[in-house]
Amino acid sequence: MNKQAIGIFDSGIGGTSIWKEIHTLLPNEDTIYLADSFNAPYGPKGKEAIINLSIKNTEYLINKGCKLIVVACNTATTNAIDYLRDTYKVPFIGIEPAIKPAALQTKNNAIGILATKGTLSSALFSKTSGIFASNKNVIEQVGEGIVELIEKGKLQSEEMKVLLKTYLKPMIDANIDYLVLGCTHYPYLIPLLVELLPSHVKIIDSGEAVARQTKTILKENNLLDTESFKSNNHFYTNGDPSIMQLLLNSKFNVEYLDF
């Protein structure tokens, strides 16, 4: 069992930012990454649709024999992870916006959160935000249109710049000192965000924490691969493999899969 792969899924190619953190921390673990780009974005869909898509992705990875599943998508985690944990036996790792560290570290008492509509409107996000940031000025912003542009490979485009400028303005006006990236697609925008934000604003996401939690849960369940010295990593998408390949710096082969 411990030589079986870690399964990772996202609504698209953004979760590769999480895969990179996991692969860096656990380089000898086999992985299978599933990008449901055909159905991206999940953000504007309702809870039921997000749960159904998460079930489809999970069952694909379970049928491939994955020993643990990382839901590398804030939108799927905040809407579907309770259902997935109640339904399947494998351990699940989810990702949520890093509101807690931002709320603990802000000096200006003002933090910005950029995430999808599905994440910001979820009960799980409201709960976490209520516990950790109720006494802070939290500027929430739906990143409408961002995932679509990233899925098209338009990371550094003029359209992206215009969108981000609009979304960041209320945050800059509120003098935030932390920007939380609440969507796994967004770490790919960090170079552009650094350009557009005042230099004192720190950008945080949950990628590293997810990798650490993956390691902890594998260890606790006796699932760590302690024998292999290198890993096999498979990437599947029902979208355009060439764009995902670019995000992986062309180091890995991406296969088209009709699922």
- The residues that are catalytic are 73, 183
Q: Shortest distance, CB of residue 73 to ligand DGL, whole angstroms?
A: 4
Question: Least distance to ligand DGL from the beta carbon of 230, Å?
Answer: 28
Label residue 25 exposed, middle or buried (CB < 10 Å: 0-12, 13-18, 19+). Answer: middle
Q: Which residues of 195-206 are buried (b: 16+ CB within 10 A; e: fewer)?
A: eebeeebbbbbb
Q: Does 54 bind ligand DGL (CB under 6 A)?
A: no
Q: Which of 42, 60, 235, 236 touches ligand DGL by CB under 6 A?
A: 42
- Please, which residues have CB within 8 angstroms of residue 195's CB and are 6 or more apart in sequence? none
Residue 79 touching ligand DGL (CB under 6 A): no
> In terms of CB distance, is 67 or 185 closer to ligand DGL?
185
Residue 11 sits in the site that holds ligand DGL (CB under 6 A): yes
CB atoms inside a 10 Å sphere around CB 77:
28
* 136 part of the interface to ligand DGL, by CB under 6 A: no
Question: Does residue 16 touch ligand DGL according to CB under 6 A?
Answer: no
Partners of residue 31 on adjacent β-strands: 6, 233
33: contact with ligand DGL by CB under 6 A:
no
Query: How do beta strands 254-256 and 233-237 pair?
Result: parallel
Residue in the block written with tokens 């997810």: 210
Verify binding: residue 29, ligand DGL, rule CB under 6 A.
Answer: no
Q: Is 37 in the site for ligand DGL (CB under 6 A)?
A: no
- Taking CB under 6 A as the criterion, which residues in 182-211 touch ligand DGL? 183-185
Cβ 70 vs Cβ 93: under 8 Å? yes
CB of 46 to ligand DGL, least distance (A): 13
Q: Please say which residue, 74 or 233, places its beta carbon nearer to ligand DGL.
A: 74
Region for 119 from its dihedrals, namely left if φ exceeds 0, alpha if ψ lies in -120 to 50, beta otherwise: alpha
Q: Point out which residues bind ligand DGL (CB under 6 A).
A: 10-12, 14-15, 40-43, 73-75, 116, 119, 147, 183-185
